[in-house]
Amino acid sequence: MSTAQSPALDMDKLNAFIGQFVTDLGAAVHTGMVVIGEKLGLYKALANGPVTASELAAKTQTDERYLKEWLASQAAGGYITYDASTGKFGLSQEQAFALAMEDSPAYLPGAFELALGSLAAVPRIAESFRTGAGMGWHEHDDGVFHGCEKFFRPGYAANLVSSWIPALHGVRERLEAGARVADVGCGKGASTLLMAKSFPKSRFYGFDYHDKSIAGARESARREGVADRVTFEVAKAKEFPGKDYDFVAVFDCLHDMGDPVGAAAHVRQSLADNGTWMIVEPFANDQLKDNLNPVGRVYYSFSTLLCTPCSRSQEVGLCLGAQAGEANIRNVVTTAGFSRFRRATETPFNIVYEARP
């Protein structure tokens, strides 16, 4: 008769891992808490100064009992402050900057909306692990489109005009003088509109295959008063119209495409001879072992739910993934016929590449 042997466990390692699990589980459910806090204006109300739960309930017209539970979850997670002597909740300057100021470069709630929207696809993606089926960007929950724009816009506002465009050869000067620009895979147009507002002499064309995102982008262009210089059209990256663009940009979408080489070849033939293609991709190293860190974890997880299935749903289905890395992007770009390619600049979250014919 054999006796089951229990494995020799290192209890310190086990306890450390369980500690990580508690943090992760709290963060996972916290996703919904942040989405609620943003939707109901709770962070913005807290940013006006410390309040009790009942004062906040009155200010935000919310149910006090629900609010008490939410406030406790936020204080436990370090997203808001709690003063036990006064019973008041509030935001530190830094929490207000990241959670209550939509224009701040560190505005975070959009990331949680994106996460919650992406997680709605889990049952279908789990099935895809067996079938290999794709799932188009357009098939996701609306929170994916809104959250993506809300999450990415602050980073673009902080970097695009002030450092990414100046890192490219002669592009800022051309945009200042008046250039023809295409923003391909523009989603809801956050990047297109930021550029249009900064370079009033240039003409901008935003393209995306997703009709709902394009409708949203058009609405934003009207609201922001630039619709006379910015046109948004539904078009695939391999088919978008127009020639002789001085500047083509793709933001966080080349890796989502089924046929990035085909898209790159189309960009190549749409550019003026002295035009520039800017490729913004998620930050990634070439070797898996070098991406096994918190940023890589975020990107690989979103990539499993969004980017890889999107690419798989389209022709070719190359599935570069959100952590493609420079070597893969270089290969796509040079295979498509570009003769010059370089990493122009980077942030902890993005790499900006420059390609020229």
Ligand X SMILES: C[S@@+](CC[C@H](N)C(=O)[O-])C[C@H]1O[C@@H](n2cnc3c(N)ncnc32)[C@H](O)[C@@H]1O
Place of tokens 């009207």: 222
The mark string for 96-135 relative to ligand X (x by CB under 6 A, - otherwise) is ----------------------------------------
Rg of the chain on CA atoms, in Å? 23
Least gap, CB of 118 to ligand X (angstroms): 11
Of the candidates 336, 334, 326, 340, the one whose C-alpha atom is nearest the C-alpha of residue 168 is 340
User: Binder to ligand X among 89, 199, 204, 209 (CB under 6 A)?
Assistant: 209
Residues 231-250 that bind ligand X (CB under 6 A): 236-237
Nearer to ligand X, 33 or 351 (CB): 351
Least gap, CB of 4 to ligand X (angstroms): 49
Specify which residues 138 forms β-bridges with.
none
Least gap, CB of 314 to ligand X (angstroms): 6
User: Binder to ligand X among 108, 257, 278, 305 (CB under 6 A)?
Assistant: 257
Residue 69 tokens read as 């539970």
Residues 286-325 that bind ligand X (CB under 6 A): 310, 314
Specify which residues 338 forms β-bridges with.
none
User: Binder to ligand X among 253, 264, 267, 318 (CB under 6 A)?
Assistant: 253
User: Binder to ligand X among 256, 296, 329, 341 (CB under 6 A)?
Assistant: 256
Of the candidates 164, 244, 176, 253, the one whose C-alpha atom is nearest the C-alpha of residue 207 is 253
Give the binding range for ligand X (CB under 6 A) out of 25-33, 83-91, 146-154, 288-296: 146-154
Q: CB of 278 within 8 A of CB of 250?
A: yes
Least gap, CB of 149 to ligand X (angstroms): 6
Place of tokens 């054999």: 2
| φ, ψ dihedrals at 307, nearest 5° | -75, -50
User: Binder to ligand X among 47, 168, 179, 190 (CB under 6 A)?
Assistant: 190
- By CB under 6 A, the count of residues binding ligand X is 22
CA 331 from chain center: how many Å?
24
Least gap, CB of 250 to ligand X (angstroms): 7
3-class secondary structure, 205: strand
- Which amino acid is residue 230, in one-letter code? V
Of the candidates 335, 177, 179, 310, the one whose C-alpha atom is nearest the C-alpha of residue 249 is 179
